[in-house]
Amino acid sequence: MSLVSRLKQLKDARFIVILSVIGPGFIAGNAGNDAGGIATYSIVGAREGYGLLWALVLTTVALAVVQEMSSRMGVVTGKGFGDLVREQFGVKVTLAVMSLLVFANLSCIIAEFAGIAASMELFGVNKYVSVPLSAFIVWLIVVKGNFKQVERFMIAISLVYLTYVVSGFMANPPWNEVAKQIIYPKLRMDKDYLLLFITMVGTTITPYMQFYLQSAVVDKGVRIEEYRFAKYDVYIGSVMTGFIAFFIVLATGTILHPAGVIVDSADDAARALYPLAGNFASHLFALGLLNASFLAAFVLPLATAYGLSEAFGWESGINKTFREAPQFLGFYTAFIIIGAGVIMFPNAPLIKIMFLSQTVNGILLPIVLIIMLRLVNTRSIMGEYVNSKRMNIITWITVTILILLTILLLITSLFS
């Protein structure tokens, strides 16, 4: 066999390994662009135009740093985040963290079904049809499928996010001006600008993403020798997250900002696009919202069920049956029923629910980040895979900034 043929075989084998480990990071990243995330990016574009795109680029880097640690802990230890918290910090800390996680995630699950209802109403489908149907599909695929099938399904629907890229290009933005505002941003210190900046960071990096990612890596069975390839999964997912958010801001910043249109949600943005950009652009935006809400409706209940089951030492895993993992699949089922059920009530207080979820996530994120850094630097847990000195410097700077921004977000949320 010639040297060229051997190199080609090695390259092909490497590509197959990369494909085999891609999934958890890609899905976790894209699920971060949920209904609340799309609403935030739409508001940022409509109110600030391209003025906060520079922050989105930096936030994407921060997301990659945090996600890489979660994935590495899962691969090295073979345990989910809830498992490690219970083993290293005891029952009291575990109960406190899990209580916050359940409350925050349940609020977000309700918001995702609200996103499904709102987006389907833009296509003329009543929420009393769309919400129960989508809840049943979300439940059936996970409960009746295996890990590989569920993962492939979620990767496939993640690709629907590309509708936002089409929307961004359709808006025909002035690319020179976009590049100029990224490279030479005009910073302001007024309250509205800072609040949008902090909220954008807070919606891009959320606690449930870390719980899901680490547990999914363990459930998938990624081995330590495969981790150098699994890092690609994390980085691709993070870049994809920032890429999609970039085009959401681009579309709304190009069309809605110059027209002075103020929006308060993603479905508001889709409606506002209709008279300004036409039916097709409006429907593309609504389709993206539906997809985002649908994907997060899978990931959020899974992240919560994983975290609770690991924290209390119960069996968990998508490949398990109800008999093998009754608590895990029971929690998953309950969260879907509650999330969809609340939306079925007329005049459900969705704004208050989303406010509460944002506030609780604001409290939980600094706690999760500090615990993560403690765990990932414990040699008895991570062995030679602890953070290097350079990685610790980068991570601590990133995490300190995220914690400060989260505290600011929490303060402004409580007192605004």
- Given a cut of 80, whether residue 277 has pLDDT beyond it is no
pLDDT score, position 21: 58
184 token code pair: 């030479």
- Given a cut of 50, whether residue 103 has pLDDT beyond it is yes
Tens of pLDDT along 77-101?
A: 999 999 999 999 988 899 998 988 8
pLDDT score, position 11: 47
184 found inside a domain: yes
Q: Count up the domains in the chain and report the number.
A: 1
- Given a cut of 50, whether residue 4 has pLDDT beyond it is no
164 found inside a domain: yes
pLDDT score, position 245: 92
- Given a cut of 80, whether residue 23 has pLDDT beyond it is no
Sign of the C-alpha dihedral computed for residues 221, 20, 34 and 398 taken in this order = positive
- Given a cut of 60, whether residue 284 has pLDDT beyond it is yes
Amino acid at 250: L
Confidence of residue 278 (pLDDT cuts 50, 70, 90): confident
Tens of pLDDT along 124-133?
A: 899 999 999 9
Confidence of residue 242 (pLDDT cuts 50, 70, 90): very high
23 found inside a domain: no
401 sits in which H/E element:
helix 389-415
Q: Which of 187-196, 278-287, 299-308 has the lowest mean pLDDT?
A: 187-196
Is the separation of the CB atoms in 158 and 30 below 8 Å? yes
- Given a cut of 60, whether residue 323 has pLDDT beyond it is yes
pLDDT score, position 231: 86
Q: Distance between CA 373 and CA 28 in Å, rounded?
A: 19
DSSP 205: S
pLDDT score, position 376: 92
403 found inside a domain: yes
29 found inside a domain: no
pLDDT score, position 10: 44
pLDDT score, position 75: 92
- Given a cut of 80, whether residue 295 has pLDDT beyond it is yes
pLDDT score, position 7: 43
pLDDT score, position 108: 87
88 found inside a domain: yes
Tens of pLDDT along 189-239?
A: 777 787 788 778 877 888 888 889 999 999 988 888 888 878 888 999 999
* Domain that includes residue 131, residue range: 34-415
Is the separation of the CB atoms in 95 and 109 below 8 Å? no
- Given a cut of 90, whether residue 176 has pLDDT beyond it is yes
Burial class (CB in 10 A: 0-12, 13-18, 19+), 390: exposed
Residue 153: which CATH number? Answer: 1.20.1740.10
27 found inside a domain: no
319 — phi, psi (to 5°)? -75, -10
Is the separation of the CB atoms in 338 and 106 below 8 Å? yes
Tens of pLDDT along 361-410?
A: 767 888 888 899 999 999 999 999 998 888 888 888 878 887 887 777 66
410 found inside a domain: yes
Annotate 270-307 with DSSP letters as a single string.
HHHHHHHH-HHHHHHHHHHHHHHHHHHHHHHHHHHHHH
Which range in 158-172, 241-255, 336-350 is most confidently predicted, on average pLDDT? 241-255
